[in-house]
Amino acid sequence: MSGRRHGLEIGINLGQKDMFKPASGVAGAVVVVHSKGTMPFPEDYGTLLSPGLYNVIGIKLVRIKRLSSPYSDCISPDRDNSDRDVYIQHYNVTFSKTGCQKTCYQSHVMETCRCALPYYPRKGIPFSNNDIPMCDDENTEQSVCRNRKELEFGDNRLNCDCPNVCSEDIYIASKSSSQWPMAKRKNSVIAEMKQLYPDYFPISIDKGDSSLEENILKRNFLKAAIFYEDLNHELVSEFPAYTGFQFVGDVGGMFGLWIGVSALGMVQLIEFLLVAVYSKVRKSYTSKRRIHDTASCKSNNKPISAIADNK
Q: Mind listing the pLDDT tens digit for each residue in 69-113?
A: 888 899 988 778 889 999 999 999 999 999 999 999 999 999 999
Name the pLDDT band for 261 (thresholds 50, 70, 90). low
Name the pLDDT band for 252 (thresholds 50, 70, 90). confident
When pLDDT is averaged across residues 167-192 and rounded to a whole number, the result is 89
| Segment of 135-144, 204-213, 256-265 carrying the highest mean pLDDT | 135-144
Statement: residue 190 has pLDDT above 60:
yes
When pLDDT is averaged across residues 35-44 and rounded to a whole number, the result is 91
pLDDT on residue 209: 60
| Segment of 103-107, 209-213, 245-249, 259-263 carrying the highest mean pLDDT | 103-107
| E strands, the chain, in order | 8-13, 29-31, 47-49, 53-65, 167-179, 221-228, 234-237
CA dist 184 and 299 (Å) reads 139
Q: Distance of CA 30 to CAs 50, 99, 162, Å?
A: 9, 19, 26
